């Protein structure tokens, strides 16, 4: 069954292993540092004893380190070497994070992925995406948070697909875990009366055209609200979401060879959906700006079945 790489190990999973006396070490390292930069335990004296933050704002800054295990620079490339180090020779990891009183490092995201809202707030999208995927893990394939230069955050969702056994590419048919999630959501939204409707939902198109779409999107929103409850501030809360018509793939150009999101390309490819999502900010719950729904739907506008469904928080 095809699905994107799992998120980093969570605290609750750590507690399970700790309860069995199986200690997990969660190190931080980079190729340029040769060995570990930090960890959740005092692993060995070879760990760098020089880790700090630069360009700090509100306790958060870029993590830099200095030790004998850090590389000396790029071969015959002084310009790239200067970019990799601070003026006083600390290596720039490219990670944004914080350091607590005990010296433990918390990574909040990659600097190159940081979103800057129209209000000037820096937001790391990866932790938000992980929280949403954790809440909607059975249904959601990929989650892409959008918010650079915008007043609030939205996200693009794809529904989890089964994989082709030979190519491992998404088949367009929803995965079994998504089927189970849909069945539960319909039963919950209809008081147990509409469970059979899940049998007719096999693709994203079926999902959006389903007569139970309001119950389904409401269940998605509950998951996002649960993820928002864990956000560090209101600016990190997702206020709308859009369901994309297909999974993000390597062949489609949305994923890198290491299966990481190509954010710029995704935003460019789905520019119309992202722009429309922002314009519909004040619209009522389940306002569909691009969708698969039939034209006779009371809230619909005619369109071709090639795009997405967008929804905001219930009013």
- Model confidence pLDDT, tens digit, residues 61-110: 998 988 888 888 999 999 999 999 999 999 998 888 888 877 777 887 78
Contacts of 256 (CB under 8 A, 6+ apart): 250, 262
HEC string for 77-142: CHHHHHHHECCCCCEEEEEEEEECCCCCEEEEEEHHHCEECCCCCEECHHHHHHHHHHHCCCCEEE
Q: What is the pLDDT of residues 36-71, one digit of tens each?
A: 666 655 443 334 457 889 999 888 899 898 888 888
Q: What is the pLDDT of residues 215-258, one digit of tens each?
A: 999 999 999 999 999 988 889 999 988 899 889 998 899 998 88
CATH architecture of 115-312: 2-Layer Sandwich (3.30)
Q: Helices then strands (H, E): number in the chain?
A: 8, 14
* 209: Cα within 13 Å, side-chain hemisphere: 17
Angle between helix 213-228 and 125-135 (nearest 10) = 130
Q: What is the pLDDT of residues 147-179, one digit of tens each?
A: 988 898 999 999 999 999 888 889 999 999 999
Any idea where the domains of the chain sit in the sequence? 27-109, 115-312
Q: Among residues 7, 45, 9, which one has the least CA distance to residue 25?
A: 9
Q: Which one of 3.10.310.30, 3.30.70.100, 1.20.1440.60, 2.30.38.10 gives the CATH number of domain 27-109?
A: 2.30.38.10
Q: Among residues 54, 73, 78, which one has the least CA distance to residue 65?
A: 54
Alpha helix (H) residue ranges in 140-286: 176-189, 204-209, 213-228, 263-269, 271-279
* pLDDT at residue 111, rounded to an integer: 85
Whole-structure pTM value: 0.70
């Amino acid at each position: 069954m095809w699905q994107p790489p799992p998120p980093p190990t969570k605290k609750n999973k750590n507690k399970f292993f700790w309860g069995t006396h199986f200690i997990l070490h969660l190190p931080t390292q980079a190729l340029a540092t040769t060995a570990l930069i930090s960890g959740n335990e005092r692993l060995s004296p070879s760990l760098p004893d020089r880790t700090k933050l630069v360009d700090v704002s509100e306790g958060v800054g870029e993590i830099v380190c200095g030790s004998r295990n850090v590389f000396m620079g790029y071969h015959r490339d002084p310009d790239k070497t200067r970019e990799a180090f601070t003026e006083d020779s600390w290596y720039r990891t490219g990670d944004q994070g914080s350091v607590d009183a005990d010296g433990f490092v918390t990574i909040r995201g990659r600097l190159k992925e940081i979103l800057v809202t129209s209000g000037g707030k820096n937001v790391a999208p990866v932790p938000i995406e992980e929280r949403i995927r954790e809440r909607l893990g059975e249904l959601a394939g990929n989650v892409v948070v959008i918010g650079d230069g915008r007043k609030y955050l939205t996200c693009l969702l794809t529904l989890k697909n089964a994989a082709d056994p030979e190519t491992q590419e998404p088949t367009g048919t929803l995965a079994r875990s998504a089927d189970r999630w849909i069945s539960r959501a319909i039963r919950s939204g209809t008081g147990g009366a509409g469970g059979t409707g899940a049998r007719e939902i096999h693709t994203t198109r079926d999902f959006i055209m389903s007569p139970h779409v309001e119950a389904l999107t409401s269940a998605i929103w509950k998951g996002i609200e649960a993820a928002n409850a864990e956000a560090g501030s209101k600016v990190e809360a997702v206020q709308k979401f859009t369901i994309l018509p297909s999974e993000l793939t390597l062949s489609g150009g949305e994923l890198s060879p290491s299966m990481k999101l190509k954010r710029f390309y995704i935003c460019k490819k789905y520019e119309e959906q992202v722009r429309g999502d922002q314009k519909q900010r004040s619209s009522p719950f389940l306002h569909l700006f691009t969708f698969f729904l039939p034209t006779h739907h009371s809230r619909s506008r005619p369109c071709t079945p090639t795009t997405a469904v967008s929804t905001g928080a219930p009013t």
